């Protein structure tokens, strides 16, 4: 039988807080450097030390970056989760375990292979320092994998050197551990396995990075100067990334900071600070997750109604309430789109890759200032905290910040009476001034109460309605300004389409290929923003049946389409996943096939993966 | 509804250094009840800014929700104002201040806005020593919702409907000192002579300046039995000192009482001149300030004046080491690291 090249899944089962992350990353990064598409996913508990944690790496020559079910190789170094880990291996797959202790006979299955490696025993023999033993035990299994999966040894060594740049003793200790793993495999097993790696050149120019880092960098490039935030998983690393990049790229000549980061007392205060900063002419933003969005809702309504720009990055996790803080979901759509009471709606952006996290974060500042309203970037834990193969970050040399309609002192001199909420241009977007612009002109009172065109408080129903109608005009203007959806027509017939956004993209695109193999041609549209542009309206109108793929229970995107586009609900079929794990292509395909032809049951040869 | 005052002004009104009359520091006509203490405080703020010759448009007025939070419309009409959400003025002020360190920030709040719904933000803005003037117009009741007791209502105080407040009062001034506010003063809306110099000193203070101003609610809390009524406050008031602010060594007003005097010098060279009435109280000693407040409370007295000041603590900008240029004035060439750097960053992720 021919070996399977660059198409398999490895899962590492570790104990949280034992330094396994860097060893596992070393494995994934090696695959990346070998030019082979790779998707690592961290499956971790809401815990600092002691609980089970997994790291799953999908290797896909064809470039499928979504999650797939069915584990070909399990590296099990956590006795706590071993019973479950054994069951999760695909029939015919491999189970690597630490054979320092004899394997519990209950864990023996007849349909998988066992590869025992005495990792702890070898680490204890080779290293003195108990802490090092623990860390280097992890490198021993990377060594074993290097042989079993035919990893490029030189790449692994280079990566180790890069990681410990110059620290010779650390590099040597890691090399030693690596050798122990490789030697053991060489002596005891036949290698490589029937699935393995082979060097390719499929990732030219690509980068491997997580979405939160990209968002933090995007905020630096987008000109954010004020960040206020409150720690919450999985958004915390956005703030950390922003701070890290600011320390590198935002220092003045005397070491002073060209930015201000405030760790707020809660999410309410964080959003208040963002609004205060933007009101005063600085680009301010915050990052949070579902519970934070709930807390920020009142302020979001104020920013909408008082027309103050604000940027919010919502790294979604599984809700409701505290939900599953370390699992992914796309379930804040409705909460974000309609955050706050009264007739309120917000602009949303849906990045699908780190490149888009970077670009859309930067763009969100332009949009927020041009539209004078909050812009919410909806990413999620999967995109935010996992590394993704991505096109490189891009910035146009000629790009200038779009600061929107802001009047200068000179411009104020040239106009008659300044009306903060006058719709002079007919696009619903009024002109604003920053505090301190002019000694006698342009000052106004910003308020969450109703006001007339000159910002004076009023309870006159007609004036209130005029203002609300202008906000609707502004909303319509936004439709033409937000990033347009990506449309892909393949069927020509216009009968069946699929609609997806954010991290559902990878698996949806893979599912599309699978369906094509089944003889089902499907058009597709990837939504990038809310409100929906004309291309979305056209796509929905021109298809008889539309599969709306998303990762929440209540089909929230579907609901938004129904509400905003006024289309017949029956033609929008929900395709859902909400177990907290990223959606898979196989699941999408199954759901679509079932809906198109309920009698036909597709073969599902992969064993279910339970976490 | 708000409406504008007549534009006419008397040609012989006194002018300040900038050539402005007091009129340039006024706002729209107040819509609060006739006789409301808050209007006196608004007038005192206008007067303090006039006397210090502050450019009105270089002031930002930020408030929460409530009667007190409406007042920024009624003073400094040429300043930008922001009537935000209930109890959250401190966070909006923090963000605004981070964006532009060069403006004077007035935060106006009430006892409901600060001592109840906004307690968390009140505490944390103090902790960060944000450079701002934080005025609480304290009347012990919720005026806009018709007179419910607030958290600063004294235990045993009787409200207009006749019910006795059973709960302990939150003492915002003691709390502010305890939390590390770098300037804490207490005053009475009816005492303009004391309030204006205190406001001037608060504006000049290079950090968080808290003023708790007892401001009786004429409509809902001015009845016999209330400890926040005009009569009660007048009978129970006790000053720590008579004081004045002497900006840049130049005296504006003579202090109104004699006694042993002390000076507190601020970083810009101005001085607060204090004529001490109580010998055992030292405005630069937190313990002494807290003791004086506790003793006064035991005697059912309301201690007013400057209670505590510390000019050495760093304000938030100094703590964060932000650039002297206001952040809202930085341009792309400073903010955006550029294409070449992005190329290097990309390389780092390969």
pLDDT digits (tens, 9 = 90+) for A211-270: 999 999 999 999 999 999 999 999 999 999 999 999 999 999 999 999 999 999 999 999
**Residue A41's CATH number:** 3.40.920.10
Residue at token pair 């906004």? B118
pLDDT of residue B282: 81
Assess if residue A610 is contained within a domain.
no
Q: How far apart are CA B345 and CA A267, in angstroms?
A: 30
For B126, the closest chain A residue by CA position comes to A265
E strand or H helix at A25: helix A20-33
- Asked if A228 and A320 sit in the same domain, the reply is yes
- Asked if A592 and A524 sit in the same domain, the reply is yes
**Residue B110's CATH number:** 3.40.50.970
- Asked if A97 and A113 sit in the same domain, the reply is yes
Give how far A418 is from chain B: nearest CA, Å.
12
Q: What is the pLDDT of residues A472-522, one digit of tens each?
A: 999 999 999 999 999 999 877 778 999 999 999 999 999 999 999 999 999
> For residues A80-96, b (16+ Cβ closer than 10 Å) or e, as one string?
ebbeebbebbbeebbbb
Average pLDDT of A388-412?
A: 97
Assess if residue B35 is contained within a domain.
yes
Tell me the CA distances in angstroms from B224 to A108, B40, B148, B227, one per residue in order.
85, 22, 16, 8
Residues of A in contact with B2 (CB under 8 A): 456-457
- Asked if A362 and A495 sit in the same domain, the reply is no
What's the domain count of chain A?
A: 4
- Asked if A240 and A333 sit in the same domain, the reply is yes
Q: How confident is the model at residue A608 (pLDDT cuts 50, 70, 90)?
A: very low
Assess if residue A223 is contained within a domain.
yes
Whole-prediction pTM: 0.95
pLDDT of residue B248: 44
Range of the domain at B313: 22-348
Residue at token pair 């007339």? A452
E strand or H helix at A162: helix A153-163
Give how far B60 is from chain A: nearest CA, Å.
7
- Give, in degrees to the nearest 5, the angle at Cα B200 between B194 and B201: 90
What's the domain count of chain B?
A: 1
Q: How far apart are CA A131 and CA A118, in angstroms?
A: 18
pLDDT of A94 higher than 80: yes
- Asked if A343 and A431 sit in the same domain, the reply is no
Q: How confident is the model at residue B241 (pLDDT cuts 50, 70, 90)?
A: low
Nearest to A534 by CA among A581, A582, A487: A487
Nearest-10 Cα torsion for B178, B183, B186, B189: -140
Cβ-nearest to A256 among B56, B83, B322: B322
pLDDT of residue B12: 83
Q: What is the pLDDT of residues A355-377, one digit of tens each?
A: 999 999 999 999 999 999 999 99
pLDDT of B243 higher than 70: no
- Asked if A132 and A213 sit in the same domain, the reply is no
Contact of B67 with chain A, judged by CB distance below 8 Å, is answered with no
- Asked if A227 and A79 sit in the same domain, the reply is no
Q: What is the pLDDT of residues B52-106, one digit of tens each?
A: 999 999 999 999 999 999 999 999 999 999 999 999 999 999 999 999 999 999 9
Where residue A345 falls (left for φ over 0; alpha for ψ -120 to 50; beta otherwise) is: beta
Nearest to B304 by CA among B159, B197, B180, B223: B197
Q: What is the pLDDT of residues B26-57, one digit of tens each?
A: 999 999 999 999 999 999 999 999 999 999 99
**Residue A576's CATH number:** 3.40.50.920
Average pLDDT of A285-298?
A: 98
Q: Contact at 8 Å (CB) between A559 and A335?
A: no
- Asked if A125 and A140 sit in the same domain, the reply is yes
Predicted-assembly ipTM surpassing the 0.90 threshold = yes
Q: Contact at 8 Å (CB) between A520 and A596?
A: yes
pLDDT of residue B238: 81
Assess if residue B219 is contained within a domain.
yes
Assess if residue B10 is contained within a domain.
no
**Selected residues 189-208 of chain B with any CB under 8 Å from a CB in chain A:** none
Extended strands (E) in A412-567: 445-447, 486-488, 496-501, 523-527, 529-530, 545-550
Range of the domain at A523: 486-596
Nearest to A380 by CA among A326, A335, A317: A317
Residues of B in contact with A257 (CB under 8 A): 320-323
Assess if residue A77 is contained within a domain.
yes
| Cα dihedral across residues A399, A404, A405, A410: positive or negative | negative
Contact of B344 with chain A, judged by CB distance below 8 Å, is answered with no
Residue at token pair 């586009």? A565
Extended strands (E) in chain B: 59-63, 80-83, 104-110, 132-138, 141-142, 148-149, 183-188, 208-214, 237-239, 241-246, 260-265, 271-276, 302-309
Q: Contact at 8 Å (CB) between A265 and A254?
A: no
Average pLDDT of A299-313?
A: 98
Q: Which residues contact A446 (CB under 8 A, 6 or more apart)?
A: A279, A306, A308, A455, B80, B81, B82, B83
Give how far A239 is from chain B: nearest CA, Å.
15
- Asked if A242 and A181 sit in the same domain, the reply is no
Assess if residue A265 is contained within a domain.
yes
Q: How far apart are CA B93 and CA B89, in angstroms?
A: 6
For B127, the closest chain A residue by CA position comes to A265
Assess if residue B15 is contained within a domain.
no
Contact of B94 with chain A, judged by CB distance below 8 Å, is answered with yes
- Pick the last residue of a domain from A451, A479, A507: A479
- Pick the last residue of a domain from A458, A479, A500: A479
Assess if residue B68 is contained within a domain.
yes
pLDDT of A76 higher than 90: yes
Q: How far apart are CA B68 and CA B135, in angstroms?
A: 9
* Interchain CB distance below 8 Å, B57 and A457: no
Give how far A210 is from chain B: nearest CA, Å.
10
pLDDT of residue A606: 46
Residues of A in contact with B334 (CB under 8 A): 258
Cβ-nearest to A226 among B82, B88, B327: B327
Q: Packing angle between helix B119-127 and helix B172-179, nearest 10 degrees?
A: 40
- Asked if A22 and A161 sit in the same domain, the reply is yes
Nearest to A14 by CA among A138, A151, A178, A144: A138
| Phi, psi (degrees; rounded to nearest 5) at B281 | -120, 130
* Interchain CB distance below 8 Å, B121 and A298: no
Assess if residue A111 is contained within a domain.
yes
């Amino acid at each position: 039988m021919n070996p399977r090249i660059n198409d398999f899944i490895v899962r590492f089962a570790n104990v949280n807080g034992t330094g396994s992350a860097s060893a596992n990353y070393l494995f994934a990064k090696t695959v990346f450097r070998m030019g082979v598409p790779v998707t690592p996913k961290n499956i971790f508990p809401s815990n600092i030390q002691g609980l089970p944690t997994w790291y799953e790496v999908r290797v896909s020559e064809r470039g499928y970056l979504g999650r797939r079910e069915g584990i070909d190789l399990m590296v099990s170094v956590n006795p706590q989760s071993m019973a479950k880990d054994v069951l999760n291996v695909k029939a015919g797959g491999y189970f690597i375990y630490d054979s320092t202790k004899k394997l519990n006979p209950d864990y023996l299955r007849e349909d998988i292979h066992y590869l025992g490696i005495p990792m702890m025993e070898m680490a204890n023999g080779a290293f003195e320092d108990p802490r090092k033993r623990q860390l280097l035990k992890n490198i021993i299994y990377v060594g074993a994998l290097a042989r079993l999966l035919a990893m490029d040894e030189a790449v692994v060594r280079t990566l180790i050197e890069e990681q410990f740049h110059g620290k010779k003793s650390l590099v040597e200790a890691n090399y030693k551990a690596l050798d122990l793993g490789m030697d053991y495999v060489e002596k005891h097993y036949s290698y490589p396995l029937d699935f393995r790696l082979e060097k390719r050149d499929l990732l030219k120019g690509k980068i491997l990075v997580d979405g939160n880092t990209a968002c933090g960098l995007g905020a630096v490039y987008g000109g954010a100067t004020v960040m206020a935030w409150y720690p919450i998983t999985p958004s915390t690393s956005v703030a950390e990334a922003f701070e890290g990049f600011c320390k590198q790229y935002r220092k003045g000549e005397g070491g002073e900071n060209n930015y201000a980061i405030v760790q707020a007392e809660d999410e309410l205060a964080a959003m208040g600070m963002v609004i205060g900063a933007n009101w005063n002419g600085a680009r301010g933003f915050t990052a949070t997750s579902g519970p934070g969005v709930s807390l920020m809702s009142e302020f979001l309504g104020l920013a909408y109604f008082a027309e103050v720009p604000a940027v919010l990055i919502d790294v979604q996790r599984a809700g409701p309430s505290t939900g599953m803080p370390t699992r992914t979901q796309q379930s804040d759509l409705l909460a974000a789109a309609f955050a706050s009471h009264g007739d309120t709606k917000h602009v949303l952006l849906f990045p699908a890759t780190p490149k888009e996290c970077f670009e859309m974060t930067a763009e969100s500042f332009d949009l927020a200032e041009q539209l004078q309203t909050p812009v919410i970037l909806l990413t999620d834990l999967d995109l935010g905290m996992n590394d993704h193969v991505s096109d490189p970050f891009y910035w146009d040399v000629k790009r200038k910040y779009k600061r929107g309609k802001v009047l200068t002192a000179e411009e104020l001199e040239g106009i008659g009476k300044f009306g903060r909420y006058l719709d002079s241009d007919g696009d619903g977007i009024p002109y604003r001034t920053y505090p301190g612009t002019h000694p006698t002109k342009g000052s106004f009172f910003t308020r969450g109460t109703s006001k007339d065109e000159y910002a004076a408080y009023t309870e006159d129903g007609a004036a209130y309605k005029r203002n609300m109608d202008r906000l609707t005009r502004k909303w319509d203007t936004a439709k033409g300004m937000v990033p347009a959806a990506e449309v892909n027509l393949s069927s020509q017939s216009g009968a069946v389409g699929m609609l997806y956004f954010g991290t559902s993209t990878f698996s949806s695109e893979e599912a599309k290929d699978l369906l094509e193999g089944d003889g089902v041609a499907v058009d597709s549209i990837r939504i990038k923003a809310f409100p929906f542009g004309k291309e979305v309206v056209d796509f929905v109108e021109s298809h008889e049946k539309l599969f709306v793929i998303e990762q929440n229970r209540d089909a929230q995107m579907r609901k938004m389409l129904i509400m905003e586009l006024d289309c017949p609900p029956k033609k929008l079929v929900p395709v859902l996943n909400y177990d907290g794990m990223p959606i898979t292509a196989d699941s999408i395909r199954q759901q679509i096939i079932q809906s198109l032809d309920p009698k036909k049951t597709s073969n599902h040869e992969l064993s279910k993966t339970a976490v | 509804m708000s409406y504008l005052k007549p534009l006419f002004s008397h040609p012989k009104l006194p002018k300040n250094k900038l050539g402005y009359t007091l009129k340039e520091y006024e706002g729209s006509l107040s819509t609060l009840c006739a006789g409301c203490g808050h209007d006196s405080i608004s007038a005192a703020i206008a007067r303090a800014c006039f006397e210090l010759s502050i450019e009105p448009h270089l002031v930002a007025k930020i408030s929460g929700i409530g009667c007190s939070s409406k007042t920024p419309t009624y003073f400094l009409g040429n300043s930008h104002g922001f009537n935000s959400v209930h109890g959250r003025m401190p966070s909006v002020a923090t963000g605004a201040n981070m964006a532009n360190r060069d403006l004077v920030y007035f935060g106006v709040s009430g006892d409901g806005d600060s001592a109840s719904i906004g307690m968390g933000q009140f505490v944390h803005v103090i902790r960060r020593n944000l450079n701002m003037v934080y005025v609480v117009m304290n009347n012990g009741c919720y005026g806009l919702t018709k007179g419910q007791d607030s958290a600063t209502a004294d235990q045993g105080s009787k409200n207009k409907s006749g019910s006795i407040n059973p709960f302990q009062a939150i003492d915002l001034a003691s709390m502010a000192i305890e939390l590390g506010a770098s300037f804490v003063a207490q005053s009475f809306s009816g005492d303009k002579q004391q309030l204006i110099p205190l406001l001037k000193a608060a504006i000049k203070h290079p950090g968080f300046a808290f003023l708790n101003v007892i401001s009786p609610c004429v409509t809902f809390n001015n009845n016999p039995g209330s400890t926040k009524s005009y009569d009660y406050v007048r009978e129970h008031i006790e000053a720590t000192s008579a004081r004045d602010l002497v900006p840049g060594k130049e005296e504006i007003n003579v202090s109104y009482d004699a006694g042993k005097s002390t000076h507190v010098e601020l970083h810009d060279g101005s001085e607060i001149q204090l004529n001490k009435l109580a010998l055992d109280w030292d405005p630069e000693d937190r313990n002494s300030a807290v003791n004086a407040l506790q003793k006064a409370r035991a005697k059912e007295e309301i201690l007013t004046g400057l209670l505590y000041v510390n000019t050495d603590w760093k304000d938030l900008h100094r703590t964060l080491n932000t650039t002297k240029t206001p952040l809202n004035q930085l341009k792309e060439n400073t903010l955006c690291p550029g294409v070449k750097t992005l190329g290097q960053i990309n390389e780092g992720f390969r």
